């Protein structure tokens, strides 16, 4: 999958490519938008966990493209693109439970709240980006403790708002946090780049200039 290069607004020369080093832009970074704690006071019982409160609850913001410019067509058929990404206040909520090791159980599982937007159309198997993110984290780190996720969807699927990528980035962050941060941010971005070209944006900051690399 072809990644996007994200350029910091405050320092156009200090860019980084997904999967690359963030050292040059670290001093300009804002808090990752997915790091906001989510309230679970109004959440219904989990289909799997019942009334057991989640270990961790996070919000995953949508993004909009404030502009999209086609700079030209390349020899390989792809277009050179430039865009400005901005995270917005429309968010999905993801609740996570960490469970003990069990060799007979899958390392990750998920459910979707019944009142999620388009709940009946959202898969909960390995085709969902959340499941893929949790699986790739477990495979790369050797983490054996299981993670269950409950997704409450507010961002329209396939709406061009990056909802699936935001959810995947949030799942990667959550898995890393629950495991005690064994993986660096750079490594998380590498994992994310295997799942989607814009996942690195949600692991970085709320505003970024982006170009096709």
Cα–Cα distances in angstroms (integers) from residue 22 to residues 29, 90, 133, 200, 202, in the given order: 9, 27, 21, 11, 14
Question: Among 63, 92, 95, 153, which one carries the catalytic annotation?
Answer: 63
Active site residue 198: yes
CA 145 – CA 100 distance, rounded (Å): 5
Which residue, chain included where needed, has tokens 């019942």?
Answer: 50
Could you tell me which residues are beta bridge partners of residue 146?
A: 99
Q: Show the CA angle centred on residue 38, arms to residues 98 and 114, nearest 5°.
A: 75
3-state helix, strand, coil in the chain (%, to 5): 25, 30, 45
- C-alpha neighbours within 13 Å on the C-beta side of residue 193: 18
Question: Among 92, 95, 167, 198, which one carries the catalytic annotation?
Answer: 198
Active site residue 63: yes
Catalytic residues: 63, 198
């Amino acid at each position: 999958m072809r990644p996007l290069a994200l350029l910091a607004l405050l320092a156009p020369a200090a860019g980084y490519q997904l999967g690359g080093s963030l050292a040059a832009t670290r001093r300009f970074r804002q808090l990752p938008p997915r790091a906001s704690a989510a309230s679970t006071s109004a959440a219904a019982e989990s289909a799997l966990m019942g009334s057991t409160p989640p270990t961790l609850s996070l919000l995953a913001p949508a993004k909009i493209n404030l502009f999209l410019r086609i700079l030209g067509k390349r020899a390989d058929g792809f277009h050179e693109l430039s865009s400005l990404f901005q995270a917005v206040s429309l968010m999905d909520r993801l609740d996570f439970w960490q469970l003990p090791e069990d060799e007979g159980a899958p390392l990750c599982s998920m459910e979707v709240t019944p009142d999620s937007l388009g709940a009946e159309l959202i898969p909960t198997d390995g085709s969902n980006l959340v499941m893929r993110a949790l699986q790739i984290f477990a495979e790369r780190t050797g983490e054996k403790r299981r993670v269950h996720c409950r997704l409450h969807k507010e961002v329209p699927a396939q709406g061009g708002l990056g909802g699936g990528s935001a959810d995947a980035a949030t799942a990667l962050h959550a898995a890393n946090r629950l495991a005690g941060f064994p993986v660096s941010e750079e490594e998380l971005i590498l994992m994310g780049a295997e799942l989607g070209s814009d996942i690195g944006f949600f692991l970085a900051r709320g505003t970024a200039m982006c170009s096709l690399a």
